[in-house]
Amino acid sequence: MRLLLAEDEQALRESLTVQLQKHGYAVDGAGDGREALWLAGEYDYDLAIIDLGLPQIDGLSVIRSIREKQKRFPILVLTARGRWQDKVEGLEAGGDDYVTKPFQIEEILARLNALLRRSGGFASPRLEFGPVQIDTAAQEVKVNGAAVEFTAFEYKALLYLAHRHGQVVSKTELTEHLYDQDFDRDSNVIEVFIGRLRKKLDPDHTLNPISTVRGRGYRFELPTSEQA
Amino acid sequence: MKRWTRAELQTLLREKAPRSIARRLLLASLIGLPFFLAATGWFLAKSFEASQLASAEERARIQFYALLSTLDFDRSGIQVSNRNADPRLAQINSGLYAVIHRPNGLLLWQSTSSQGLLLDEELLSGGNPPEVGKERFDTLDEADLLRFQFQTIYETDDGEDLPLVFTILESLNSLRAEQRAFLQQLWLGLGGAAVLLTLAQAAILRWGLAPLRKLAHDVSDLEQGRRAALPDQYPTELQPLAQNLNQLLTREQTQRERYRNTLGDLAHSLKTPLAVLRQAVQGADIDRSQFEEQITRMDQLIVYQLQRAVASGIHRVGQQSQMLKPIADKLVASFSKVYFDKNLQLQVTVDAQCACRADEGDIYEVLGNLIDNACKACHSKVAVSAEQSERWLLIHVEDDGPGIEPEARNRILLRGQRADSYQPGQGIGLAVTVDILDSYGAELDIGSAAFGGARFTIRWPS
């Protein structure tokens, strides 16, 4: 999942970036509103965390501009001001949820998960695809009722594909949404990655959860039990 | 000569006018007083002159009648007995003269006093004498004389009708002397009056403006801390000002006390978690969860105190009314985003006319906290409604959650609790809400909602 993080306090931005990367997000950091707006226009993000007190262009204006550009990715508003009037302003401008400072990383992660799920069109935190169950709240994957261990990156890749079940996702798209900008885009890595996912989800080769569409990319094939 | 424009004159007046009200009033009266006194003096002098002439005329008429009564006519001519006559008539150049002559100026008799006088045609008939039976009174400026004339027909013993003109002359000198004396007296009197008036006015102004000086003095006392409030013994014109100043002071004092209390509460309440943290740092093994817990606690304390301090509360002068509906709509739109997963039914039934005299941010805070609590507590339904009566604006926030037990309701609404007794997650939002409502004289009640859960009702004075 590729995430835009706009926060002017460098220490906070860096520690958040490290934490989010640890949980499988590809994070692009922006230190001011202008940079944030440029990044939002340039790349295709799955999520954004935007602090309201940004220099150059304030957070509210950044959010409004992003929405004016018809960008639909969910935005988590970060604010030091806890008054309802401030929160309502952030949400009215186009934010989807808010977190007030100081916060715990768990809270941010939970909100991001909920937003991602929502943007994928799933109402419940538990995604079901036949025998495969993904619990986005607990970040657990079960196949036929048995828990399967995934690394953070594997989990994010699975989630990205599952959110776009039935659609073809190219290797480039997957790379962009899994890794930071400066990642060396070697397509072999993705192939190895998909191989690992297939092995964990379908050790007996009976499900074929992820198919390869030659020359175009991959497709998550399992039908959802929930209507999106 | 320089021509002044209107704007220049106004500027001049503004810049050159004295800064003191007393001096302004005094200056205005000093400019006005001479005109007033001159007019009075002129009017009095004219009246005096008129009355002098009227009485001179009256005196001359009496002389004429006296003369007429002592008149006798015989062959040798006119005889006048001196018995009843004015002694001045017998004294040369006494200033009072009497002459009897024919209409054509032919002299028949003249008083002894007039013997030094040149009785010419002009003096006696002045062109033509008055008609028979008529009198004439005029002033002969060149000769410095007042003249009274009367023409009558005298019937002699022979039965002959003889037209006679009586001319009484009086010197103007004595009149002029009287006038001079009068004018001297008058200007002296008016000048004295002007001085007295000015002094009296200065004294009146001093006395009249004394309350303003006292007010300034009292305010300076306030500033120096020598008094806590303004006394209520000012004249009726100043009393409202003093009252308003006192209200302002009280409000400012309350606000200051609130800030001080908030700051004190905050500082004290932060000490406990800080102490825990210090112990934890000095201890051998550092427990992350303990840190988290204390940081959360400190954060909650700061949030609570900050919101309490920011809440403007207390009716400010000129506080505008805020429409309730747009605020409720915006909050509900926000909550439907935040609580998207709960798939809530959020209802707003607020009349467009409902308004509330309070700071917009405070209304957001109060409603936001109540709706947020309702969203957390509900299963799926939250309703916000309002009704405006003459005295109150009633705002209800209802949910279909488990509701609140009657015994717990009072405890929840208890206000004025010490801030450091709040524990994390103990509903800081509600404590802030109660604080804000309290500062506006508004009340919060907890009851049961029609569809099962809790019903919070705000009673806001209209």
pLDDT tens readout for residues A207-220: 888 888 888 889 98
Q: What is the pLDDT of residue B126?
A: 62
- CA distance, residue B372 to nearest chain A CA (Å): 10
Q: How confident is residue A50, by pLDDT bands cut at 50, 70 and 90?
A: very high
Q: Checking phi first, is residue A140 left (phi over 0); if not, alpha (psi -120 to 50) or beta?
A: beta
Nearest-by-CA chain B residue for A124? B341
Residues B391, B388: Cα–Cα separation, whole Å? 8
Residue, of A54 and B156, whose pLDDT is higher? A54
Measure in Å the smallest separation between the Cα of B19 and chain A Cα atoms. Answer: 48
At residue A25, does pLDDT exceed 50? yes
**pLDDT for A127 beyond 90:** no
Higher pLDDT: B260 or A48? It is A48
Q: At what angle do helices A171-178 and A152-163 cross, to 10 degrees?
A: 130
Testing the interface with B: which of A19, A72, A85 to mutate, by most B Cβ within 10 A? Answer: A85
Q: Which of B76-85, B239-248, B307-316, B367-376 is predicted with the least confidence, judged by mean pLDDT? A: B307-316
Q: Tokens 């707003």 map to which residue? A: B348
CA nearest to B298 within chain A? A102
pLDDT (average), residues A157-177: 84
Note the pLDDT of residue A155. 85
Model confidence at B441, in pLDDT bands (50, 70, 90)?
confident
Check residue B422 and give its pLDDT: 43
Q: Which residues of B touch chain A, with CB atoms under 8 Å apart?
A: 292, 295-296, 299, 303, 306-307, 310, 330-331, 333-334, 337-338, 340-341, 343, 360-361, 364-365, 367-369, 372
Residue B420 above 50 pLDDT?
Answer: no
Mean pLDDT to the nearest integer, B338-359: 85
> Measured between CA atoms, how close is B311 to chain A, in angstroms?
10
Whether the bond into B163 is cis, omega within 30 of 0: no
- Predicted local distance difference test score (pLDDT) of residue A203: 83
Q: B378-404 pLDDT, tens per residue? A: 888 999 999 988 888 899 999 998 888
DSSP sequence for B69-128: HTEEEETTEEEE-SSSS-GGGGSTT-SEEEEEE-TTS-EEEE-GGGGGS---HHHHTTTS
Check residue A47 and give its pLDDT.
92
pLDDT for res B29 = 85
Residues of B with Cβ-Cβ distance to A87 under 8 angstroms: 334, 368
pLDDT at B319: 67
Q: In residues, how long is chain B? A: 462
Scanning the structure block, which residue is given the tokens 């970036």? A17
State the best of A83, A84, A111 to mutate against chain B, taking most chain B CBs within 10 Å: A84
Instruction: Give the pLDDT score at B83.
Output: 65
The residue with greater pLDDT, B166 or B282, is B166
pLDDT more than 70, % of chain B: 91
Q: Which of A79-83, B331-335, B418-422, B449-453 has the lowest mean pLDDT?
A: B418-422
User: Cα distance from A18 to chain B (closest Cα, Å)?
Assistant: 18
pLDDT band of residue B107 (cuts 50, 70, 90) is confident
Average pLDDT over residues B420-432: 58
Whether the ipTM is more than 0.85: the answer is no
Where does residue A66 rank: exposed (0-12), middle (13-18), buried (19+ CB within 10 A)? Answer: buried
Question: Is the pLDDT at B256 greater than 90, yes or no?
Answer: no
The pLDDT value recorded for residue A79 is 87
Is the minimum CB–CB distance between A114 and chain B shorter than 8 Å?
A: yes
Interatomic CA distance for residues B156 and B358, integer angstroms: 112
Q: Residue B417 above 70 pLDDT?
A: no
* Residues B201, B40 contacting (CB under 8 angstroms): no
Mean pLDDT across B208-229: 88
pLDDT of residue A186: 67
Q: Which of A45-49, A116-120, B177-181, B223-227 has the lowest mean pLDDT?
A: A116-120
Q: What was the pLDDT predicted at B440?
A: 84
Q: Does pLDDT of B16 surpass 90? A: no
> What pairs with residue B160 in β-bridges?
none
Which pLDDT score, from 0 to 100, does residue B425 have?
46
Q: Are strands B96-101 and B71-74 parallel, antiparallel or unpaired?
A: unpaired
Closest residue in chain B to residue A90, using alpha carbons only: B334
Give the pLDDT band of residue A71 (cuts 50, 70, 90): confident
Pick A102's closest partner by Cβ from B299, B365, B369: B299
Contact between B361 and B319 under an 8 Å Cβ cutoff? The reply is no
Mean pLDDT of the A10-22 span: 89
d(CA B371, CA B331): 8
Report the chain B residue with the minimal C-alpha distance to residue A82: B303
For the segment B291-311, the average pLDDT, to the nearest whole number, is 78
Residue pair A35/A51 in contact by the 8 Å Cβ criterion = no
The sign of the dihedral angle between the CA atoms of B226, B232, B234, B239 is positive
CA-angle at B226, arms to B220 and B231, nearest 5°: 75
- The answer on pLDDT for B419 being more than 60 is no
Residue B377 has pLDDT above 70, yes or no: yes
Residue B80's pLDDT is what? 77
Q: A224 pLDDT band (50/70/90 cuts)?
A: confident
Give the Å distances, CA to CA, from A152 to A5, A23, A77, B85: 19, 5, 24, 148
CB atoms within 10 A of CB B252: 10
Instruction: Report pLDDT digits (tens) over B349-362.
Output: 988 888 888 888 88
- Which tokens go with A131? 């025998």
Whether B387 and B462 have beta carbons less than 8 Å apart is answered as: no
* B316: pLDDT strictly greater than 70: no
